[in-house]
């Protein structure tokens, strides 16, 4: 049994810790000022350690800590993940780059050429995180007014065309959103390894498109019973079209030597949270965001009110941007919760922590080696979990 572990790369900048919510002082997302890192102002001048150097440090840290690759997210405030992946490929050895993108803003034939070029240059280290957008102001930033279900129909057509031109044979297509006549990759690019495809979305339209195209159905973390029901729905749909799905979950983690120390980190960040923000609804038409709103208590007086089940906390979006749910606890408790998700059928994880650099070492060294200790096969056997094949080489313990 092989379980793949990916780490999130903080493309939008990074916090020094969750104790300083929404203060991005690593990277240039908030401009350059005193106390910023990568680049920093020293003696009135910007130093030579650029933002891409910082992102590369996170990639190299997570590679050495045992992660198979990293997710490069895409937002209006970030660098382009395709370009960043190309830059980081030379900074790493075997690390795989999961590029997040919305298909509506790139022609599929050009996407196929870009992808095949990256695969040839890196030995097949590119993956896709296909997203179709959450609607609202963020979608309009891109100039995209396509309705929710049509965005998934467009994504499905995009992938039909991309796969159609991949082998180099002339490909014709006549759809609602794309048309091609004799499109194909040139001989030098045709036939590269097709990237594994992680597909996100909680709506019926998303699950339909994911069932046709995805290698992994990717979900944010949810209460485990609800996540199980979602997986069951995806399985049922996939079976009807003759496919067997695999599942991946994106999870933020705060893990420390003790449960008390982990919750202390949350408490320090919670002291800066705007309580009204906890009650405000997300904008847009994302079904996943609406699901999260349904689990948040109507009255929130304390950060522990958002502990929906043991070690599962629904307040991460209040102290940093992104998904609401994550895991908080001791190293052993977090490993136990991940083991429970494995038992539910999860095949891959995208993990994250703030700051991304130091937490990559912490999670890779302290949490991943604890997974499945009661049921793992020996490391040299064919059934061993990949976490044992990618054990961290970092020996210096990170202080709690």
pTM to 2 decimals? 0.87
Residue 72 has pLDDT above 70, yes or no: yes
Note the pLDDT of residue 118.
97
Q: Is the pLDDT of residue 375 over 60?
A: no
Could you tell me whether strands 247-256 and 216-220 are parallel, antiparallel, or unpaired per DSSP bridges?
A: parallel
Tell me what pLDDT residue 357 has.
Answer: 93
The length of the chain is 400
Cα separations (Å) of 310 from 54, 333, 371? 34, 9, 17
Q: How far apart are CA 238 and CA 261, in angstroms?
A: 42
**197, β-bridge pairs:** 128
Q: Which residues pair with 309 in a beta bridge?
A: 312
Whole-number pLDDT of residue 78: 83
Could you give the CA distance from residue 33 to residue 42 in angstroms, rounded to a whole number?
A: 10
Q: Name the residue among 335, 292, 297, 334 with its Cα closest to residue 317.
A: 292
Q: What is the pLDDT of residue 282?
A: 44
Show Cβ contacts of residue 166 under 8 Å, excluding neighbours closer than 6 positions: 112, 116, 185, 190, 191, 194
Express each pLDDT in 90-100 by its tens digit. 999 999 999 99
pLDDT over 70 percentage in the chain? 80
| Contact indicator for 33, 21 with CB cutoff of 8 Å | no
Instruction: Give residue-wise pLDDT tens across range 15-57.
Output: 777 777 666 777 665 566 667 777 777 777 777 777 888 899 9
By DSSP bridging, strand 24-26 and strand 14-15 are: antiparallel
Distances from the Cα of 219 to the Cα of 9, 18, 147, 335, angstroms: 18, 23, 21, 19
Q: Which residues contact 359 (CB under 8 A, 6 or more apart)?
A: 253, 352, 353
pLDDT at 53: 87
User: Which of 14-23, 152-161, 207-216, 227-236 has the weakest average pLDDT?
Assistant: 14-23
**Distance in angstroms (rounded) separating the CA atoms of residues 293 and 202:** 14
**Residue 54 exposure: Cα atoms within 13 Å on the Cβ side:** 26
Q: Is 103 left (phi over 0), alpha (psi -120 to 50) or beta?
A: alpha
Least confident of 17-31, 66-80, 120-134: 17-31
Backbone phi, psi, residue 100, to 5°: -90, 135
Contacts with 188 (C-beta within 8 Å, 6 or more apart), sequence order:
120
Instruction: Report cis status (omega within 30 of 0) of the bond before 287.
Output: no
Contacts of 112 (CB under 8 A, 6+ apart): 161, 162, 165, 166, 185
Q: Are strands 216-220 and 197-200 parallel, antiparallel or unpaired?
A: parallel
| DSSP string over 291-333 | HHHHHS-S---SGGGGEEETTEES-HHHHSSS-S-EEEEEHHH
Look at the alpha carbons of 329, 331, 334, 336 in this order and tell me if their dihedral is positive or negative: negative
- 3-state SS assignment for residue 97: strand
Q: Which residue has the higher pLDDT, 9 or 43?
A: 9
Kindly report the average pLDDT of the chain as a whole number.
Answer: 84
Span of 104-108, 138-142, 201-205 with lowest mean pLDDT? 138-142
pLDDT for residue 281: 38
Q: Which pLDDT score is estimated for 208? A: 83
Closest Cα partner for 75 from 322, 351, 357?
322
Predicted local confidence at residue 10, as pLDDT: 87
> Does 195 or 140 have the greater pLDDT score?
195
Cβ–Cβ under 8 Å, residues 378 and 261: no
Distance CA 364, CA 348 (A): 15
Q: Report whether pLDDT(273) > 70.
A: yes
| Mean pLDDT comparison of 138-142, 223-227, 385-389, highest-scoring range | 223-227
């Amino acid at each position: 049994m092989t379980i793949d572990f990916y780490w999130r790369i903080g493309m939008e900048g990074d916090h020094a810790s969750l104790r300083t919510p929404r203060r991005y002082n690593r990277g240039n997302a908030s401009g350059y000022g005193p106390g910023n890192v990568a680049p920093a102002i020293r003696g009135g001048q910007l130093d030579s350690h650029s933002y891409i150097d910082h992102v590369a440090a996170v990639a190299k840290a997570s590679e050495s800590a045992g992660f198979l690759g990293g997710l490069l997210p895409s937002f209006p405030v970030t660098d382009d993940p395709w370009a960043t992946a190309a830059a980081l490929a030379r900074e790493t050895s075997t690390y795989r780059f999961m590029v997040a993108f919305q298909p509506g803003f790139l022609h599929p034939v050009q996407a196929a050429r870009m992808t095949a070029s990256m695969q040839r240059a890196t030995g097949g280290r590119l993956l896709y995180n296909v997203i179709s957008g959450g609607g609202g102001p963020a979608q309009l930033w891109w100039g995209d007014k396509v309705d929710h279900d049509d965005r998934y129909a467009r994504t499905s057509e995009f992938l039909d065309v991309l796969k159609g031109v991949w082998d180099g044979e002339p490909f014709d297509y006549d759809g609602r959103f794309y048309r091609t006549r004799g499109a194909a990759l040139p001989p030098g690019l045709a036939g590269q390894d097709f990237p594994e495809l992680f597909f996100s979305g909680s709506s019926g339209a998303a699950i339909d498109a994911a069932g046709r195209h995805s290698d992994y159905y990717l979900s944010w973390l949810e209460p485990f019973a609800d996540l199980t029901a979602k997986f069951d729905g995806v399985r049922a749909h996939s079976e009807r079209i003759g496919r067997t799905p695999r599942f991946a979950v994106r999870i933020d983690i705060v893990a420390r030597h003790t449960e008390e120390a982990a919750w202390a980190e949350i408490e320090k960040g919670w002291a800066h949270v705007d309580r009204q923000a906890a009650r405000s609804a997300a904008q847009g038409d994302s079904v996943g965001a609406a699901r999260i709103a349904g689990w948040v208590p109507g009255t929130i007086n304390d950060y522990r009110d958002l502990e929906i089940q043991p070690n599962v906390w629904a307040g991460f979006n209040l102290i940093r941007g992104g998904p609401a749910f994550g895991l908080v606890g001791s190293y052993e408790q977090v490993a136990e919760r991940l083991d429970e998700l494995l038992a539910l059928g999860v095949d891959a994880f995208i993990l994250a922590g703030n700051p991304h650099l130091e937490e990559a070492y912490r999670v890779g060294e302290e949490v991943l080696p604890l997974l499945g200790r009661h049921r793992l096969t020996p490391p040299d056997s064919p059934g061993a979990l990949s976490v044992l094949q990618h054990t961290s080489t970092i020996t210096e313990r990170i202080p709690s």
